[in-house]
Amino acid sequence: MAEKRTCTVILPTFNEEENIAKMVSSLKEMYPDFCILIMDDNSADRSKELVEALNFRDVRFFVRAPDDKGLTASTCEGITIAGTDFFVNMDSDFQHPLEAVGRIYDELNKGFDLVVGIRSDRKALGFKRSAGSWLFHALASSVLFVHGKRRSKDIMSGLFGGSTAIFSDVIKENGNKFEMKGFKVLLDLMKFAPPEIRVGEITYEFGKRMGGESKVNPKIVYLTLRQCGIVGRFFARFYKALFS
């Protein structure tokens, strides 16, 4: 029998007290053997207190340096300190279904180096966010094509898992080129990953946020445009001027 591979679920968080305790409890109930790593961007709420009160084994609440904020930075640091064979990155607001974690893990065990969650129905995003997501995906796909890298049907996805060893090396060697304060870490990981990596996909239905407020704002749009090659940076300058 093949040795069972270890896995860490990475949860980048900022002020998620309305969701984080229930998220951790639900994940541990479904995946008792998985580690959970909460990468917190200096929340001003009770997130840390609520998680620590659960007293679960293999759950770490990591408070990040206050001068190094950013979702991409949080996820990247989480990957490099995970210490398991695999990692799965997901939101902590229940928009990503918990059962998808197990399916990503199964695909990684089949030999894929990266498995991306593809949103089958984006109605929960709303019309504007859905349209913007497709636009960013098209720009990102063109960037990966130009660089001769593997692509996915949903490069803007925040639900994905991979080989910790492979992507720790990617981050250590190329992290200085990432948009660390940005929000689309998957694009940077794919942009600098070895061209021969094996990419798998699962589909899932994108849900509505259970509690708290969305973090989407004009800054996210600007930083995401900056990640999308020369064309993206061109539009980013005009977008910044529009909202400055």
CA–CA distance from 117 to each of 53, 182, 200, 218 (Å)?
31, 19, 9, 25
pLDDT score for 137:
80
Q: Give the residue among 221, 216, 215 at the shortest CA–CA distance from 240.
A: 221
Residue type present at position 106: D
Residue 1 within any structural domain of the chain? no
Q: Give the CA angle between residues 91, 97, 102 to the nearest 5°.
A: 100
N- to C-terminal Cα distance for the chain?
59
Can you give the CATH number for the domain in which 102 is found?
A: 3.90.550.10
Range of the domain at 81: 7-243
pLDDT in tens, 108-132: 999 999 999 998 865 555 545 566 6
Residue 84 within any structural domain of the chain? yes
> Is 7 strand, coil or helix?
strand
- Partners of 86 in the beta sheet? 7, 163
Residue 40 within any structural domain of the chain? yes
pLDDT classification of 89: cutoffs 50, 70, 90:
very high
DSSP secondary structure code for residue 174 in this structure: H
Number of domains in the chain: 1
Mean pLDDT on 169-180: 95
pLDDT score for 114:
98
Extract the tokens encoding 199: 């990419």
pLDDT in tens, 39-72: 999 999 999 999 999 999 999 999 999 888 899 9
Q: Give the CA angle between residues 188, 215, 237 to the nearest 5°.
A: 55
pLDDT in tens, 212-241: 555 555 666 667 667 766 766 666 676 566
